[in-house]
Structure 1
Amino acid sequence: MTQTTTKTYLSKKTLVVTLGVLMSQAGFANNELPNTQPLEQYNQQRNQALQQQLQTNPTVHLDSKPFQAPAIKPNTNNTPNTPCFDIHSVSLANNPKGVFDFALKPYLAGNESVIGQCLNIDDINQLVSNVQNNIIDKGYVTTRVVISNQNIASGNLVLDIIPGYIAQIKANKLSDNLVLLDDGEPINFATAFAIEEGQLLNIRDIEQGLENFKRVPSADANFAIAPSSDVSVPGYSDLLIDYTQGRRWRVSAGIDDSGQKSTGQYQANVTLSLDNPMWHNDLFYVSYGHSLDGASNDVDDDSWNYNIGYTLPIDNSLLSITHNGYNYKQTVAGASEDYTYSGDSYNTEAMLSHLVHRDSHSKTYVKGGAFTKKQRNYIDDTEVEVQRRKTSGWKGGIAYETTVNGAQISSELMYQHGTGAFNALTPTESLFNEGSARAGIIKTNVDVNKPFELAGKQFNYHGLFKGQLAEEALVPADRFSIGGRYTVRGYDGERTLSGDHGALLRQDVTMMLGESAHGLYAGVDAGYVQMDNKIQDKQLLGHHLVGAAVGAKGYVKPLKTTYDVFAGFPVDSPESFADKDVVAGFSLGWQY
């Protein structure tokens, strides 16, 4: 909901009595407890932004350099100087399990068919080049197509395939701080590649292996393909890997003003990252953050949080495990004295993704995993049991990445459903049909990055769309929330709009300052939310927010410092929702 406070609903007489005693002792005005849901949702958004920074997602696209050949132009004006051969059939020889059938298929039927055509030697050579191009475009860069001695006048044309196989995958140049197996190869080579010696060499598999290496920020890898030194059979090649591993630990720190005033607006964090802790191209990080201020200098209002993450790539799969915790404490004014209202929440998630398709410009993954969430609130040291939450569930979906005209596009479509696993509790809202923790939720997001040049200057467009559609009314923790620097800028995040269904569109255009790592940007954001229950929907202050922002960001190399400063402006919002004409913010980051 949008209000800063909300009445707490009770389900059992004993809970009513217990809560009534607590509220009577505290003397809360109007018998209302603070609504901490905006705090929880804002913390989730901050955690997601932090995880995106810490979990690298490299993309490697290698140029296969296919032969440049024009489309086939069959010889229709045969003369004695251009003898041709009537072609009745075309087939591939030495085609293991028909894996290269795709390369010839376009020329057996349709507009490009050569069947029934009269082809001269140039036409036949062009056909060979086109089939070769198709094979290379699929990544089989060491596979060759040739024409052996045959009687073409028979009308039966046979193209010979010389398949390109991997003879060995071995290290070429290595840094001296690696853990090696008995054969002298680095231990992390074993799980980097989804291919083995003796298999067909495909550059797409090499791309995947290089991406696995590069998931570790302090590591880098390159490769070369050379004729096999041990196998004399044509078509066998050695895959030579150059691999370097820098310092395996990294420290980063940051400060920003992304917190809430009631629990500390200024937030500081420090992160320790361990690269290759198990020597399998894995990454481990732990981050801790704490508020630097409180609601006032006279009270001990603050918040702290931590994040723990681990990622492990195995061939074409990626395992990701994250856990985070959040704790806040704020002072609430009572009728006769002030009391401390506090709470904590913990979220754990495990996800597994698997690459199911890859070509020269796109990748497709299937994903699945499970999650659990816990939340508790306290008045002084006494828990408000009616506000205790523990939910769990599973999620699954598909992710797609592609490059179109220089634009990098990442998209994801997920389905999430709550369950009773991990001793999940039935939330109070479910007892009043006001929200379920076991409802199905469809979530989607699309991320677009497109560099372009205008008036001699370099620009970059970034667009982000997020959407959520619920099958029924949700508990507050699962609702779609907008308002603040992580969603719709121009609003301070102290108040938000949230609903069971929602959509968000963020757009930025950044102008780079010359060849430097600094840029100026302007952005416009818009968000919409709606409740599934019509009565609850009418209680919302509004359904949409529109905001804008201008700012500067960049990297100061001598200081190893990143910065982002901005000013946001509310553009369109419900009446009395935006209480500031300008919302400024900043973030500073340091890496070692």
Structure 2
Amino acid sequence: MPTVLSGRKSRAALALFLFSLAPIATQAQVLRDEGVRLLEEQRNREREDSLSRPAPVIPRPESPVAPPATPDRPDGPVFQISRIDIVGDTVLSASEKADLVAPFVGTSMGPKAIDMLLGRVTEAYMRKGFVTTRAYLGPQNLASGRLEITVIPGLIEKIKVDGQEPAMTARSAFPMESGEALRMDELEQAVDQINRLRSRRAEAQILPGQSPGGSELSIDTRAEKPWRVSLGVDNFGQTATGEKRQRLGVEFDNLLGLWDAWSLTSVESKNTRSELLSVSVPVGFGTLSYAYAQSESHNLLAGTITMHNHSKSHTLAWNHVVLRNQSTRFALDASLAMRDSQRHLDSIALTPQQQISGRLAGSLLIRMPIGALTADLGYSQGIPHFGGDGDLPNTPRSAPHNQFEKWDGTLGVSLMLNSHLALRSTLAGQFARMGLPGQEQSFYGGASSVRGFKEGVIAGDRGQFMRNELLWTTASSLLLPGSLKSSGVRFDPFVSLDAARARLLADSLDQRIASAGFGFRTGWKDIAADFTWARPLTAPPGISREQRLHFSLSLMF
């Protein structure tokens, strides 16, 4: 005789059966992990900060006057020079040294020509960032036809931070040490590492030392209070778990004396709660970071059946600056992420999932007189080791793969068009040749991508989005009364134009959305608000085209 299940158990069994039958068709409706969203929001803020943060401005020692390409007519005693050697050099290549001395070899050189050559050699070092290294002429017999130029490295004699020598732990953030030749890129990196902390606005000076070419580095961090607490509300949540969100954040700087940055964020909505803990520690040209995220949510399936989700993730990352100068910075990133997720249909536990993935990326920042540009290109791969789930044999290409591969890229631009208008644009996307797990897909729609739509209305294994803002930068000075301007009130209106497309490999057509809108950001002291009204221009069938208001309010103290 067949067994008859109770009403509640039969509904759960039915929901479980239906859920297992359609894993592919429901990919686009995957509930996005709020912990993963918090981590992505943090990364987006860091990218925006890099666009808006000015390059360190460090006064350089006076540069020698650039000499002409060939020596002027001789003056004073002159000597026929057939050979010129540069000694004490460890920076310039043989070809660079040959190019420097070539115009002078085989010529008659007097004091003026020799000064010109010394200036050329010193200038070559300054262009490479050795701003205190100098070329000198020691005692020698020029009548022999040989000229020897001695390079004296400009050594760092002392490093002081806020008037005191830093502790050994704090020095680990600096690429340079006392006794080494001073390089501007290393000093700029040290200032940047300090300015990662929101409570610091460091500036540096190069002061004369006691020895020839020696210098003392003085860094003023302009420290503010090391901790901050923030409260906020917004309507950036998902429909299934509640659109209205409340946010609590705590930040602490330099807790360990390593120029370390700590942050803890908690976000809660009607049916979900998520937390993110992150810490980063600088080490010279590198930065080590760790993030832990967890989230819990529940939403209804099949009427009265509730899906409970609990996930946690660990992400360990290393960023290393490979090249930098006053206008350009290129860095490499490597990260390893582990994510555990557990799901229940009412009281029925589904098979837990553990996904491990690695990512390698390169990032570029270019600063220009009228703005800045960032570019990022990354490759990610699912790892079926260390406890990570693998793929079942003969998994269809369009089905979700734990052993996935994907490429992603982001291009960001911030430009001043004229004295009144600025343009901010972001173009981002990802590409995969196989189906991706839900949390690796692209989700578009909402305040962070295409405004005018609810959060994550389209998703796919492949996708791209474009987000544009045209800002009126002088609105505060032109529109606000004098009393508000003098008190520090900010008012930044803008118009927006956004678009995105996404496609699951199981589908043959793209889903496309686009919107246009306007809004403003305003703030006063530690209070900030952001309001955007947007109307959909394009949307797939079944997705609402009603206009939408996105808002966020925050208070920091």
- The alignment's TM-score, normalised by the length of structure 2, stands at 0.84
Aligned partner (choices 253, 268, 276) of residue 307 of structure 1: 276
Aligned partner (choices 524, 528, 551) of residue 519 of structure 2: 551
Aligned partner (choices 426, 429, 445) of residue 467 of structure 1: 429
* Paired residue type of 2:267: G
CA distance in 2, matches of 1:406, 1:137: 23
Describe the superposition over 1:361-392 as per-residue Cα deviations: whole angstroms up to 9, x where unpaired.
2222222121112233322232233xx43211
Secondary structure of the equivalent of 1:209? helix
1:91 matches 2:68: no
CA distance in 1, matches of 2:310, 2:204: 48
Report the equivalent of 2:3. Answer: none
Report the equivalent of 2:118. Answer: 128
* Change over 3 Å in CA distance of 1:238–1:428 after alignment to 2: same
1:368 matches 2:338: no
- Aligned 8 A contact 1:441 1:468 in 2: yes
Aligned partner (choices 63, 68, 75) of residue 72 of structure 1: 68
* Change over 3 Å in CA distance of 1:446–1:101 after alignment to 2: farther
* Change over 3 Å in CA distance of 1:31–1:399 after alignment to 2: closer
Higher mean alpha-carbon deviation, 42-51 vs 545-554, is at 42-51
Alignment of 1:105-504 (within 5 A): 106-108=99-101, 113-115=103-105, 122=112, 124-148=114-138, 156-171=146-161, 173=163, 185-228=166-209, 233-291=211-269, 294=270, 302-332=271-301, 334=303, 338-385=304-351, 388-426=352-390, 431-433=395-397, 434-454=399-419, 457=420, 459-493=421-455, 495-498=457-460, 500-504=461-465
How much has 1:565 moved relative to structure 2?
0.4
* Change over 3 Å in CA distance of 1:81–1:250 after alignment to 2: closer
How much has 1:545 moved relative to structure 2?
2.8
* Change over 3 Å in CA distance of 1:550–1:167 after alignment to 2: same
CA distance in 1, matches of 2:35, 2:516: 22
- Aligned 8 A contact 1:74 1:119 in 2: no
CA distance in 2, matches of 1:105, 1:554: 58
CA distance in 2, matches of 1:246, 1:81: 58
Secondary structure of the equivalent of 1:125? helix
Report the equivalent of 1:40. Answer: 32
1:537 matches 2:500: no
Report the RMSD for the aligned CA atoms in angstroms. 3.5
How much has 1:123 moved relative to structure 2?
5.0
CA distance in 1, matches of 2:144, 2:332: 49
- Aligned 8 A contact 1:165 1:237 in 2: yes
Describe the superposition over 1:291-323 as per-residue Cα deviations: whole angstroms up to 9, x where unpaired.
1xx4xxxxxxx1111111010111221011112
Report the equivalent of 1:181. Answer: none
1:583 matches 2:548: yes
Higher mean alpha-carbon deviation, 354-363 vs 61-70, is at 61-70
Describe the superposition over 1:399-447 as per-residue Cα deviations: whole angstroms up to 9, x where unpaired.
2222234432222222211112342224679744423121222222222
How much has 1:452 moved relative to structure 2?
3.9
CA distance in 2, matches of 1:28, 1:587: 38
CA distance in 2, matches of 1:369, 1:29: 33
* Change over 3 Å in CA distance of 1:528–1:172 after alignment to 2: closer
Secondary structure of the equivalent of 1:107? helix
CA distance in 1, matches of 2:193, 2:349: 46
Report the equivalent of 2:497. Answer: 524
* Change over 3 Å in CA distance of 1:379–1:216 after alignment to 2: same
Q: Report the count of equivalent residues.
A: 531
How much has 1:352 moved relative to structure 2?
0.8
* Change over 3 Å in CA distance of 1:119–1:413 after alignment to 2: farther
- Aligned 8 A contact 1:143 1:161 in 2: yes
Percentage identity across paired residues of the two chains: 19
* Paired residue type of 1:225: I
CA distance in 2, matches of 1:105, 1:547: 59
CA distance in 2, matches of 1:446, 1:320: 23
- Aligned 8 A contact 1:66 1:137 in 2: no
Secondary structure of the equivalent of 2:32? helix
* Paired residue type of 2:231: A
* Change over 3 Å in CA distance of 1:519–1:172 after alignment to 2: closer
CA distance in 2, matches of 1:530, 1:120: 74
Secondary structure of the equivalent of 1:39? coil
- Aligned 8 A contact 1:415 1:441 in 2: yes
CA distance in 2, matches of 1:98, 1:351: 32
Secondary structure of the equivalent of 1:193? coil
- Aligned 8 A contact 1:450 1:461 in 2: yes
Q: Where in structure 2 are there 5+ consecutive unaligned residues?
A: 1-8, 478-484
- Aligned 8 A contact 1:389 1:427 in 2: no
Q: Where in structure 1 are there 5+ consecutive unaligned residues?
A: 1-18, 175-183, 295-301
* Paired residue type of 1:582: Q
Secondary structure of the equivalent of 1:261? coil
* Paired residue type of 1:526: A
Describe the superposition over 1:314-366 as per-residue Cα deviations: whole angstroms up to 9, x where unpaired.
122101111212222223453xxx23232222222110112222223222222
